[in-house]
Amino acid sequence: MNKKNFGKENLIRYVLMLFALSSIFFLFLIFAFIMSEGLKLFFKVGLLNIIASLKWAPTKGFFGIFPMIVSSFIITVGALCVGGPLALACATYLAEYAGKKTKMFLKPAIELLAGIPSVVYGFLGVVYIVPLVREYLGGSGFSALSASIVLGVMILPTIISISYDALTSVPVVYREGSFAMGATKWQTIYLVVIPAARSGILAAFILGMGRAVGETMAVIMVAGNALQIPTSILDPLRTLTSNIALELAYATGDHRSSLFSTGVVLLVIIMVLNFIANFWVKRKVIKGS
């Protein structure tokens, strides 16, 4: 009986392991595919002619994606400026102040926010935010600012849920200690709890950045997709992801490879961000244990 059970348990264990490994297999496939398509061009025209050049005209032999790297960076920072404080405030409220009933209502609502398709965010951005920016701030409205606002809302769920976990995992004794010293609730939160959860919150922000860098559809719809390095937040810009999605339909030959090269750069950026986030989360776990 025991032996039989043991065999069955092991079988299930290995089958599940196989499925778990398949995710790595797919990751590897994607990685290999993007590299094989995208690296060709790096060897052909040189790394600097791609990542440091300003001019993008792939059908005429110019493959510079530097403005797009800068643009991706700008709207990511913009999204963090818009969404970051909001998300942190929301997570703090959820973790420290909210009662059970409020939580029961708020948490699913935030999860729902994550489930809304990005094209819907983009559409709302085009219909409401773009005209508002155009009317009150000038420019065409299709701008870094509009994209940052839309992205800022889109990254809320990611940042909220991870910072919430970080805040709730701060041991109760920290809070009790602080209260015992005579600190008020707010003093406890911003002097004790948030600093203690700092690394987890940072990881949340970095994963939020990852989401912002990777977002495509909503950005195409509101950012205007111009090929310049923007000089103001009201200028249109094009991110790395938009570049791929915008031009893939018509691309052939080197043009197509150059889009995969854009993908390689994007992959590297996302990998670095995830690596940093994991590093922070890990440190938190070690510290916590």
Partner 1 sequence: MNNRKPKILGTFTLIIMIVCSSFLGACSQKEAKGKKHTVTIAGSTSVMPFTEKLAEHFMVDHPDFVVNVQGGGSSAGIQACLLRTVDIGMSSRELKEGETALADTVICFDGIAIIVNPGNPLRNITLSQVKSIYSGQVKNWKDLGWIDRQIDAVTREEGSGTRGAFEELVMKKEEISPAIMVQDSNGSVKEVVATDPYAIGYISLGMVDEKIIALKVDGITPNLENIREKRYTIVRPFLFLTLGQPRPTVFTFIGYVLSEEGQEILRKEGLITKVYE
Query: Where does this chain bind partner 1 (CB under 8 A)?
Result: 55-59, 67, 126, 130-131, 134, 138-142, 220, 224-228, 235-236, 238, 245-247, 249-253, 255
Residue 229, SS3 per DSSP: coil
CB of 249 to partner 1, least distance (A): 5
CB of 226 to partner 1, least distance (A): 5
CB of 106 to partner 1, least distance (A): 19
CB of 34 to partner 1, least distance (A): 20
Q: Which is nearer to partner 1, 68 or 193 (CB)?
A: 68
Q: Are 66 and 48 in contact (CB under 8 A)?
A: no
**Kind and range of the H or E element at 63?**
strand 62-63
Q: Which is nearer to partner 1, 71 or 158 (CB)?
A: 71
Q: Which is nearer to partner 1, 123 or 179 (CB)?
A: 123
Q: Which is nearer to partner 1, 10 or 59 (CB)?
A: 59
CB of 246 to partner 1, least distance (A): 5
Give me the helices (H) in 46-155, please. 47-51, 66-92, 100-115, 118-124, 130-137, 144-154
Q: Which two tokens stand for residue 127?
A: 């219909």
Q: Residues 6 or more apart from 223 whose CB is under 8 A from it?
A: 71, 75, 142, 143, 144, 146, 147, 236, 237, 238, 239, 242
φ, ψ of residue 143 to 5 degrees: the values are -150, 170
Q: Which two tokens stand for residue 49?
A: 């002619």
CB of 4 to partner 1, least distance (A): 32
Q: Which is nearer to partner 1, 149 or 202 (CB)?
A: 149
Q: Are 114 and 150 in contact (CB under 8 A)?
A: no
Please state the separation of Cα 59 from the chain's center in Å. Answer: 31
Q: Which is nearer to partner 1, 229 or 276 (CB)?
A: 229
The residues with which 63 forms a beta bridge, in sequence order, are: 56
Q: Which is nearer to partner 1, 188 or 225 (CB)?
A: 225
**Kind and range of the H or E element at 14?**
helix 2-45
First to last CA, the chain: 38
CB of 238 to partner 1, least distance (A): 7
Please state the separation of Cα 97 from the chain's center in Å. Answer: 27
CB of 279 to partner 1, least distance (A): 37
Q: Which is nearer to partner 1, 211 or 238 (CB)?
A: 238
Q: Are 161 and 110 in contact (CB under 8 A)?
A: yes
